[in-house]
């Protein structure tokens, strides 16, 4: 089909966005709108007392001032994560802090006024008495016996401890090892900087609430708000998600401001709008990553992997966000990567600290797992004086399906194949020539590879509904949520495969809980593996139904009909009926179908990222001179959309590898990187031209054969870049490891220290 699956169709969503005709939450301006701000804690840990709210309430334009006392009827933000045989301490996560704050940015009051400036003025008029308390920054410090407790009633900062794999089998394998490679890595805390900050407009009419907010799933937000916080029936609220400029996991959650805006609108009978400032985003939105991990890899004399042991220390922040404990659990399960490691044991500990909560961020645990194992394999290769690609090939899983020592069953994949292709594209065998050229100009040069696998694509079921419209076009309703991925185009291609319709004839609706009955939202790279598979099945059902109706009109057997170019035709003849005519002749028949694909297992995208870098030893300046990606996504729905997803993920991974770092000052607990003046993000000049190919092996557990692709770019990129950096440093100075971010200051420092030691 001209517009069907596999074709590089340009995104149908882009034209209005490029013309400035997009509609984001901040653009929603209902009549009688009031504006809100959140008053936040300047202390990392403190008791407080609001001594007087009357002055704030008397300020010009002030309409409502809410504290914990006024919102006591509201429930807490939930963390419903359940992991078998794991006890998780879940302290209360109130909508507004009462008596005690636990991180800089903790919410203590919600102020509504006729203008944003008046709301700010009223918030500043709130009088507060503070009593600072001891605080702790960093997960390792938090688990020290003498550390101050974030939650005194818990008597420690340990949120949970879990174990995966077989510790005895792993210990026995280590006892037989000829060599053990070890490494400790820091996967630093990062902030997900989407284009549009979070925002909400709450309206209450006739006792029913409508919330317009940027999310990754309107149903999930509605259900949590209604069930856990507002304690009202789900049909008492409508949630609408308009255009969204990026989510990356962190717009999937229910946040305090949504409940506060809803509560205020209900109290005042007027619309209430809150839009996060960028500094608030840094302070209060869920952060990502923040793991400290130690690992040991056992090998025999032939370089074969025998066992792996991993110890993960995950910083949870002050509260447990929606999925927080599940993120390191996901990563722990992927610890063996693409390697045949017979025995594995992983310990995971979560720690409370006086920092913003941490939750899912693009990849959610899998980037952390890939970074660890890929750095560790490179270290083992250097220990044994074996080429890193050779050690990988020796230990790749070679037969599928394969169940890992952490109980993940990979259904398909040919790992050596994409490594071979990436090396071919990079001209791997001529690296030494390029190395000599770099050395002649006084620069270091390194080359690094990362062969990754991840688990995703199973956040279902997600029901899809499709119907034939009177004009011959199709309407699709789906519970997934585009945040910039191009769902409207992708789903139109699935429909085009069955009906031959051009993209503009397929109308896709998402993000409205009144229009769409159910929805899982978008997370875990599941929109196409789950939502797309559901739509494909629903479209097939509708096609059969339409053939039956057309058979009557054409006086032919349905088995003799084919659907092509928006019409149904008797095969081998010119007798046909258009879909529009069919709709008019349906005589009230149901011209719709729906289906919810229930995934039985995750999909396992995999691939090779290869990076080549130069470093200026005099400044620490890093330049990525070449970057290649060869991925296995099972099947490609749209090459253009796929490349965009991979490019975006790689850019985020490069950002973490070389510049992004969320820094809390340990003595004061202040967030030092609380703006784009202090938190570096990659620009166009920091990202090299990417070479991207697919080498697909169809997924055996998904009806479309696809494997989720949205997070993969962020999973392979950090280890590829850091392996290249480590390669350059090892060749020049025998520096074994450097942690992310590999900023100029950090690289210059480790090089200067290596030079100093060399001269002693």
pLDDT tens by residue, 109-135: 999 999 999 999 999 999 999 999 999
Cβ(451)–Cβ(337) under 8 Å?
A: yes
The whole-number average pLDDT for the span 78-97 is 96
Residue 194 is predicted with a pLDDT of 94
Q: How confident is the model at residue 460 (pLDDT cuts 50, 70, 90)?
A: confident
Q: How many C-beta atoms lie closer than 10 Å to residue 85's C-beta?
A: 6
Per CATH, the homologous superfamily of domain 25-133+193-284 is: Aldehyde oxidase/xanthine dehydrogenase, a/b hammerhead (3.90.1170.50)
Per residue in 347-368, pLDDT (tens digit) is 999 999 999 999 999 999 999 9
**For a pLDDT cut of 70, what percent of the chain falls above it?**
100
Alpha-carbon distances, residue 570 vs 468, 555, 557, 656 (angstroms):
20, 10, 9, 57
pLDDT at 760 over 80: no
Q: How confident is the model at residue 50 (pLDDT cuts 50, 70, 90)?
A: very high
Give the helix/strand (H/E) hosting 181.
strand 179-190
pLDDT at 343 over 80: yes
The whole-number average pLDDT for the span 204-226 is 97
Q: How confident is the model at residue 706 (pLDDT cuts 50, 70, 90)?
A: very high
Q: Residue 732: CB partners within 8 Å, gap ≥ 6? A: 444, 617, 751
Say how far apart CA 52 and CA 67 lie, in whole Å.
11
Residue 236 is predicted with a pLDDT of 97
pLDDT at 332 over 90: yes
Nearest to 726 by CA among 387, 378, 440, 435: 378
Q: Residue 346: CB partners within 8 Å, gap ≥ 6? A: 163, 164, 165, 309, 310, 311, 312, 332, 335, 406
Query: Could you tell me the two tokens for 424?
Result: 């071919």
Nearest to 337 by CA among 295, 385, 302, 300: 295
pLDDT at 151 over 90: yes
Please give the distance of CA 594 from its chain centroid, rounded to a whole number. 28
Cβ(601)–Cβ(458) under 8 Å?
A: yes
Peptide bond into 461 cis (omega under 30): yes
The whole-number average pLDDT for the span 724-752 is 97
Query: Could you tell me the two tokens for 386?
Result: 């074996």
Say how far apart CA 724 and CA 444 lie, in whole Å.
11
pLDDT at 1 over 80: no
The whole-number average pLDDT for the span 644-672 is 97
Residue 321 is predicted with a pLDDT of 97
* Domain chopping of the chain, boundaries: 25-133+193-284, 458-597
Query: Could you tell me the two tokens for 283?
Result: 């302070």
Residue 2 is predicted with a pLDDT of 81
Cβ(246)–Cβ(511) under 8 Å?
A: no
| Dihedral of alpha carbons 254, 260, 262, 263, sign | positive
Say how far apart CA 281 and CA 261 lie, in whole Å.
17
Peptide bond into 401 cis (omega under 30): yes
Please give the distance of CA 490 from its chain centroid, rounded to a whole number. 20
Peptide bond into 741 cis (omega under 30): yes
Q: Residue 21: CB partners within 8 Å, gap ≥ 6? A: none
Cβ(191)–Cβ(183) under 8 Å?
A: no
Average pLDDT, the chain: 97
Nearest to 657 by CA among 691, 700, 686: 686
Query: Could you tell me the two tokens for 25?
Result: 């939450």
Residue 759 is predicted with a pLDDT of 79
Say how far apart CA 636 and CA 694 lie, in whole Å.
8
Residue 587 is predicted with a pLDDT of 83
Residue 87 is predicted with a pLDDT of 97
The strand order across the sheet containing 305-317 reads 158-165, 343-352, 305-317, 288-299, 179-190
Distance separating the N- and C-terminal Cα atoms of the chain: 70
Cβ(411)–Cβ(336) under 8 Å?
A: no
Q: How confident is the model at residue 80 (pLDDT cuts 50, 70, 90)?
A: confident
According to DSSP, the residues that pair with 199 across neighbouring strands are 275
For residues 83, 88, 92, 94, the Cα torsion angle rounded to the nearest 10 degrees is: -40
Give the helix/strand (H/E) hosting 274.
strand 272-275
Cβ(362)–Cβ(652) under 8 Å?
A: yes
Per residue in 154-204, pLDDT (tens digit) is 999 999 999 999 999 999 999 999 999 999 999 999 999 999 999 999 999
Cβ(725)–Cβ(446) under 8 Å?
A: yes
Domains 25-133+193-284 and 458-597 share a fold: no
Say yes or no: domain 458-597 is CATH 3.30.365.10: yes
The strand order across the sheet containing 622-632 reads 444-453, 606-615, 622-632, 690-694
Q: Tell me, letter by letter, the H, E, C secondary structure of 408-464.
A: CEECCCCHHHHHHHHHHHHCHHHHHHHHHHHHHCCCEEEEEEEEEECCECCCCCEEE
The whole-number average pLDDT for the span 87-106 is 98
Q: Which 8-state DSSP code applies to residue 614?
A: E
pLDDT at 486 over 90: yes
Cβ(315)–Cβ(358) under 8 Å?
A: yes
Beta-sheet strands, E only, within 479-524: 506-509
Q: Which 8-state DSSP code applies to residue 10?
A: P
pLDDT at 632 over 80: yes
**For a pLDDT cut of 90, what percent of the chain falls above it?**
98
3-state helix, strand, coil in the chain (%, to 5): 30, 25, 40
* pTM: predicted TM-score of the whole model, two decimal places: 0.96
Q: How confident is the model at residue 586 (pLDDT cuts 50, 70, 90)?
A: confident
Cβ(721)–Cβ(367) under 8 Å?
A: no
Residue 758 is predicted with a pLDDT of 80
Residue 132 is predicted with a pLDDT of 98
Per residue in 247-285, pLDDT (tens digit) is 999 999 999 999 999 999 999 999 999 999 999 999 999
Per residue in 296-329, pLDDT (tens digit) is 999 999 999 999 999 999 999 999 999 999 999 9
């Amino acid at each position: 089909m001209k517009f069907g699956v596999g074709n590089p169709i340009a995104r149908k969503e882009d034209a209005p966005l490029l013309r400035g005709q997009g509609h984001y939450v901040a653009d929603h301006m209902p009549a009688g709108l009031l504006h809100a701000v959140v008053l936040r804690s300047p202390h990392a840990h403190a008791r407080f007392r609001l001594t007087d709210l009357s002055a704030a309430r008397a300020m010009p334009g002030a309409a409502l001032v809410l504290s914990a006392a006024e919102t006591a009827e509201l429930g807490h933000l939930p963390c419903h994560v359940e992991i078998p045989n794991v006890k998780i301490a879940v302290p209360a996560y109130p909508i507004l802090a009462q008596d005690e704050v636990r991180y800089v940015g903790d919410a203590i009051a919600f102020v509504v006024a006729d203008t944003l400036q008046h709301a700010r003025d009223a918030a500043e008029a709130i009088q507060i008495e503070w009593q600072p308390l001891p605080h702790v920054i960093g997960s390792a410090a938090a688990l020290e016996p003498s550390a101050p407790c974030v939650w005194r009633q818990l008597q420690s900062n340990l949120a949970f401890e879990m174990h995966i794999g077989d510790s005895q089998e792993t210990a026995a394998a280590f006892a037989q090892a000829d060599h053990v490679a070890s490494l400790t890595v820091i996967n630093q805390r990062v902030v997900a900087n989407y284009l549009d900050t979070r925002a909400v407009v709450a309206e209450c009419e006739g006792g029913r609430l409508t919330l317009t907010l940027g999310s990754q799933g309107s149903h999930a937000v509605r259900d949590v708000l209604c069930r856990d916080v507002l304690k009202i029936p789900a049909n008492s609220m409508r949630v609408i998600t308009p255009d969204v400029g990026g989510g990356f996991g962190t717009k999937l959650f229910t946040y305090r401001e949504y409940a506060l805006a809803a509560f205020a609108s209900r109290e005042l009978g007027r619309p209430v709008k809150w839009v996060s400032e960028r500094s608030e985003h840094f302070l209060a939105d869920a952060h990502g990553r923040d793991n400290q991990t130690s690992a040991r890899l056992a090998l025999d004399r032939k370089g074969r992997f025998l066992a792996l042991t991993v110890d993960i220390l995950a910083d949870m922040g002050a509260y447990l966000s929606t999925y927080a404990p599940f993120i390191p659990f996901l990563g722990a399960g992927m610890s063996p990567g693409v390697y045949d490691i017979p025995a594995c044991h992983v310990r995971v500990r979560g720690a409370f600290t006086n920092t913003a909560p941490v939750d899912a961020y693009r990849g959610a645990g899998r980037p952390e797992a890939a970074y660890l194992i890929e750095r560790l394999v490179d270290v083992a290769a250097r220990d044994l004086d074996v080429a890193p690609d050779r050690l990988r090939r020796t230990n790749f899983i070679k037969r599928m399906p394969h169940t890992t020592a952490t109980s993940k069953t990979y259904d398909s994949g040919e790992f050596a194949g994409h490594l071979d292709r990436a090396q071919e594209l990079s001209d791997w065998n001529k690296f030494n020539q390029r190395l000599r050229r770099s050395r002649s100009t006084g620069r270091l040069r390194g080359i690094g590879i990362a062969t990754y696998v991840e688990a995703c694509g199973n956040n279902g079921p997600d029901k899809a509904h499709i119907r034939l419209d009177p004009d011959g076009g199709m309407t699709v309703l789906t519970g997934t949520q585009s945040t910039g991925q191009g769902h409207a185009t992708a789903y139109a291609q699935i429909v085009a495969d069955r009906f031959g319709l051009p993209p503009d004839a397929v109308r896709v609706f998402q993000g409205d809980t009144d229009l769409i009955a159910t929805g899982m939202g978008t997370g875990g790279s599941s929109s196409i593996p789950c939502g797309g598979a559901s739509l494909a099945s629903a479209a097939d059902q509708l096609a059969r139904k339409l053939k039956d109706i057309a058979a009557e009109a054409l006086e032919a057997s349905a088995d003799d009909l084919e659907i092509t170019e928006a019409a149904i035709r008797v095969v081998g003849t010119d007798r046909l009926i258009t879909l529009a005519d069919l709709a008019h002749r349906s005589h009230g028949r149901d011209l719709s179908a729906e289906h919810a694909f229930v995934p039985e297992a995750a999909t396992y995208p995999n691939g090779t990222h290869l990076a080549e870098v130069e470093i200026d030893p005099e400044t620490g300046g890093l330049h990525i001179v070449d970057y290649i990606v060869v991925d296995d996504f099972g099947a490609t729905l749209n090459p253009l959309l796929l490349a965009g997803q991979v490019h975006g993920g790689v850019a985020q991974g490069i950002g973490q590898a070389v510049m992004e770092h969320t820094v809390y000052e340990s003595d004061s607990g202040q967030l030092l990187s609380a703006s784009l003046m202090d938190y570096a993000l990659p620009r166009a000049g920091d990202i090299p031209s990417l070479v991207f190919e697919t080498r697909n092996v169809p997924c055996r557990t998904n009806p479309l054969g696809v494997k989720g692709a949205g997070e993969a770019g962020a999973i392979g990129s950090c280890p590829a870049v850091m392996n290249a950096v480590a390669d350059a440093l090892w060749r020049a100075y025998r520096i074994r490891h450097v942690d992310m971010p590999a900023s100029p200051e950090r690289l210059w420092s480790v090089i200067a220290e290596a030079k100093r030691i060399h001269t002693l």
